[in-house]
Structure 1
Amino acid sequence: MRSAAARTLHGLVAVMVLVGVGVEVVTAFTDGPGVAGTMAERLTRLFSYFTIQSNLLVGGTSALLALDPQRDGRVFRVLRLDGLLCIGVTGIVYHAVLAGLQELTPSGALANLLLHTTVAVVAVVAWLVVGPRPRADRATVLWSVAYPVAWLVWTFGRGAAVGWYPYPFLDVGEIGGTRAVVNALVVAVVFLLLAGVVAFVEHRLPPTPGAVRDGSGPVDRVGPADRGGAADPDGPAGDRGGAADPDGSVDAGAR
C-alpha cells in the first residue's frame, strides 16, 4: 500500500513538471523572433532559469522514485536533496519577490502555477508522507551546495558576457554588482536554512519502510536468525548457531 502511494505521489510530481516545463518549451518555440533573438538563445535563457532547473531536478528524481520508491546511492541522494531544497527556494523567492511582475497568458499562468507552487507543495508532501528517508546525512548536505554555487557562477558569468540575467534581483546592469551579490547571498542563506530544516525533520520522523541510512545498506532489521554460523537443519530458524531457513529471511510562465 505504501509503495503504491509512493509511486503515485512521486509520479504526480514528475507529470506536473513535464507539463509545466513542456508549456515553457512550446512557448519558447512559438514566441515571435524578437522575444529573445535566435531559438538557441531563447532555449539557453529558458534553461538558465533556476525555476526550470529546480523543477527538472525534483521532477527527474521523482520519476526515478516512481519507478523504484527505494532508489538510493550517493549521487542520487545529492540530486534528490537538491531537488527538494531548490524547489523550496523557488517557491519562497517567487512568492516573496517575483509574483505579479509579469502579465501571463492562460498557458503561461498554468505553467507558472505548476512550476512555482503546485510542484513545490506536492514534492514536499511526498517527502513527508512517503520519503524515502532518512537520506540527508552530512555528506549529502555538503555536496548539495555544489549545484547552487555552480548556478550562480553560470548566471553571473554569462550575464557579464551577454548582458542578460534571469531575475531582476540578480541583474548587475540594473541594480549594481554589490546589491546583486548581496541578494544572491540572501538566497544562499535561505537554501542553507532549508537544508538544516530538512536534515532536522528527516531524523526526527520515523524512517520509511526499506529506508537506507548513510549509503550503507537497508535499515538494520537484524533478528536472531541473522546471527552466527550454520544452524542445525532440524532446529528452528532462529538458532544462533547458523544460517536461517532462506524462507524465513526478511524480504528485502514566469520562471
Structure 2
Amino acid sequence: MFRACHGVIAVLVVVGLVVDVSVTVAGGPSASGGAVVELGLADRLANLFSYFTILSNILVLAVSGTFALRPEPTGALFRVLHLDALLSIAATGVVYAVLLAATEHPTGWSVVSNTIFHDVVPVAFPLVWLVFGPRPRLTWRLVALAFVWPVAWLAYTYVRGAVTGWYPYGFLDATLLGFWGALLGGLQVFAGAVVLAVVIKLLDARLPALTGRSSTR
C-alpha cells in the first residue's frame, strides 16, 4: 500500500505537469498563474518552472517516485529531500487556500492541473507519510538543511524579478509592493514554513515509528 500510494501520487503529478506544460506551450493560462500569451515560449516555460507550486510538486514526484520503487532509502540527502517535499507541498496547500484561491479562477484543462497541484497532492502526500511513515528519520540538523532550497528559491525569485519585472506571486512582487513590502511577504511565508517544519519534526519524533511498510520498528 505504501508503494502503491506513492505510485499514484507520482502519476498524478506527472499528469498535472503534462497538462500545465501543454497549456503553457499553447499560450494559455497555467495552473499557477494568469494569462501569459504575450510572452515567448522560453519565457512562458521559465515562468512556469519558477512557481513554488510547480517546484514543490516536482519534489513530491522525485520522492514519491523513489518510494514507489524503493520503500526505504535511508541516506541523509534523501531525508532532507523528503522533508523538503513535505514542507513545500504543505506550504503550497496552505498558502493557496489562504492567499490565492479566492483570486485565481482556472479554466479548461488548467482546472485539472490546478486541482492536482493545489488540492489533491498537498493533502495526499502528507497523509501517506502520517499513515505509513517512514519515521523517525529527522534531526534538527536535517530540518535546518531543508531550508537551503526555499531560501535559494526566494533569492532566485527576487533576483529574477528584478531583472524581468515578473514575480510568481503578488505578495512577493517588489514592483507593486516595493522592496520592503515584498521582503515582508517572503519573511511571512518563511516564518510559516519554520512553524510547519517544527510541527513535522515533532510529529516525526512522537508518532508511532513506521518503516514505510506500515509496520512498527
Tell me, yes or no, whether TM beats 0.5.
yes
Residue type of the alignment partner of 1:10: H
2:56 aligned with 1:60: no
Q: Compute the displacement of 1:106 (Å).
A: 2.7
Aligned 8 A contact 2:136 2:205 in 1? yes
2:117 aligned with 1:121: no
Q: Once structures 1 and 2 are overlaid, which stretch shifts more, 77-86 or 98-107?
A: 98-107
Aligned 8 A contact 2:89 2:122 in 1? yes
Aligned 8 A contact 1:55 1:87 in 2? yes
Of residues 3, 6, 14, the one that matches 2:2 is: 6
Residues 196 and 35 (structure 1 numbering): CA distance in 2 closer, same or farther, change over 3 Å?
A: same
**1-structure distance, mates of 2:199, 2:65:** 24
Q: Compute the displacement of 1:100 (Å).
A: 2.9
Aligned 8 A contact 1:136 1:198 in 2? no
2:31 aligned with 1:29: no
2:198 aligned with 1:196: yes
Residue type of the alignment partner of 1:200: L
Residues 192 and 34 (structure 1 numbering): CA distance in 2 closer, same or farther, change over 3 Å?
A: closer
Residue type of the alignment partner of 1:14: A
- Please provide the CA RMSD for this pair: 1.8
Q: Compute the displacement of 1:102 (Å).
A: 2.8
Matched residue pairs, number?
209
Residue type of the alignment partner of 2:165: G
What secondary structure sits across from 1:79 in the alignment?
helix
2:13 aligned with 1:17: yes
Residues 21 and 208 (structure 1 numbering): CA distance in 2 closer, same or farther, change over 3 Å?
A: same
- Residue of structure 2 equivalent to 1:102: 104
Deviations 1:178-209 (A, max 9, x none): 11111111100111101100010111112113
**2-structure distance, mates of 1:163, 1:83:** 28
> Which one has the bigger helix percentage?
2
Residues 137 and 34 (structure 1 numbering): CA distance in 2 closer, same or farther, change over 3 Å?
A: closer
**2-structure distance, mates of 1:31, 1:72:** 42
Residue type of the alignment partner of 1:181: L
Residue type of the alignment partner of 1:150: A
What secondary structure sits across from 1:106 in the alignment?
coil
Deviations 1:150-192 (A, max 9, x none): 0000000000011000001111101111111111111001111
Deviations 1:73-110 (A, max 9, x none): 11111111000000000000001001132332131111
Residue type of the alignment partner of 1:143: L
Residue type of the alignment partner of 2:107: T
Deviations 1:25-75 (A, max 9, x none): 001111169625221111100000000000000121111001111112111
**2-structure distance, mates of 1:191, 1:40:** 31
2:148 aligned with 1:169: no
TM-score computed with the length of structure 2 as normaliser: 0.91
The runs of 5 or more residues in structure 1 that have no matched partner are 212-218, 222-255
**2-structure distance, mates of 1:116, 1:36:** 25
**1-structure distance, mates of 2:38, 2:139:** 42
Of residues 76, 80, 83, the one that matches 1:81 is: 83
What secondary structure sits across from 2:44 in the alignment?
helix
2:142 aligned with 1:146: no
- Residue of structure 1 equivalent to 2:135: 133
TM-score computed with the length of structure 1 as normaliser: 0.78
- Residue of structure 2 equivalent to 1:156: 158
Give me the identity figure in percent. 43
- Deviant stretches of 4+, over 4 Å: none
